[in-house]
Amino acid sequence: MTSMRSDAEPQVHPSAVIEPGAQIGAGCIIGPFCLIGPEVVLGDNCVVKSHVVITGDTTVANDCSIFSFACVGEIPQDQKFKGEKTRLEIGPRTRIREHVTINTGTAGGGSLTRIGADCLLMAGCHVAHDAILGDRVIIVNNAAIAGHCIIEDDVLVGGLSGVHQFVRIGQGAIIGAVTMVTNDVIPYGLVQAPRGELDGLNLVGLKRRGVARSDITALRAAFQMLAQGEGAFQDRARRLGEETDSEYVRNIVKFVTGHSDRSFLTPGQG
């Protein structure tokens, strides 16, 4: 996005509807036929293309861009929702492409849906109520993140994929295209196949982020132990934590031994 003066007056197309109470930051550009609801807060230098709806108790941080026909901040697609007060937060520099839908939270799920910084939500994807997305998450075209999911930093979810409610996807994992994910995914994992099989590590992503060769070697060894070691999956992870010096391996251990509402995908499991 082109840098703009933080003190510049917003540019609002005459056909856009800005409801009383909405807060529009300096330097924002709001295109034709947009609707900005009364509880919306737009940070500085946001660009909202034509035919966008932003509603609900929604806060959009600085330097975000929202493309045509996106619908951001509408009520949850949850029959238990009874109109309670819930919110949506979107972090700075996040890009929301055409036809994306993002819902606010529910009282039963913490009342908050949150998207982190520097995320890219590609055309047609959906983020449901109470989902929490970290920073630099990429959701590819027409993928769907169900309610109550936790997607950690640097995750990529491939196109036409679906993530089941309450699933956690660990930092740096990658989900292949046309994949259904019904179980938690370890950090740096590679999941693919129609029913979501843990098929290795996201080595390409690790190398692109400049992870040291020693850490990648440690992660390879950790994956083999998780795949073929003795005992239950969580027990193998705890032994890893006692034996490793790698921060990346410890991240996997912390994730696996933490609270989960779903079971884990293990190597070879579909």
Helix ranges, the chain (H): 203-208, 213-228, 233-243, 247-257
Q: Which residues are catalytic?
A: 129-130, 147
CA 147 to CA 153: how far, in whole Å? 18
CA angle 188/115/149 to nearest 5° reads: 60
Query: Residue 158 to residues 65, 93, 144, 175, 180: CA-CA distances in angstroms?
Result: 21, 21, 10, 5, 10
- Beta-carbon contacts of 29 under 8 Å, excluding residues fewer than 6 positions away, are 10, 11, 46, 47, 48
Identify the sign of the CA torsion 38, 41, 44, 45: negative
Strand partners, 96: 66, 121
What are phi and psi for residue 237, nearest 5 degrees?
-65, -40
